Amino acid sequence: MDSIRKQRIESAIVRLISEMIVSGKVKDPRVGFVTVHRAKISPDLNYLSVWVTSYCTPAEKRKLLKGLHSASSFIQSVISEQLRLRVTPKLHFLWDDDYIKALEVNELIDKSAPKEEES
């Protein structure tokens, strides 16, 4: 499959899932404010990994991922309806630790940067 097509599908799915969560179409109470960062689709379009984060405790994180997992069939049906793919990928939600680590590194860099004196 063409890599550009895969990227378009992945970005369309990220946008669609984000819109569904923000608009309240996902009714599961465990799914609160979630940021969908990226998606990676398998070469055969059968599986899709979606990386998410949220500002929450580890217990809330587990609840959030369980809520997304239980809502995945609904989300998958909306993706199928909106994007009209021949094969609708099975969704797998993952916590994006890389994004959290990048934020921590950026915070450390900002703290260690020399402050410019104002005249």
pLDDT at 117: 61
pLDDT at 114: 78
pLDDT at 111: 86
Q: Between β-strands 90-95 and 35-41, what pairing exists: parallel, antiparallel or unpaired? A: unpaired
Both tokens of 58, joined, read 């580890």
- The stretches in the chain having pLDDT less than 70 are 1, 117-119
pLDDT at 105: 87
3-class state of residue 1 by DSSP: coil
pLDDT at 1: 66
3-class state of residue 119 by DSSP: coil
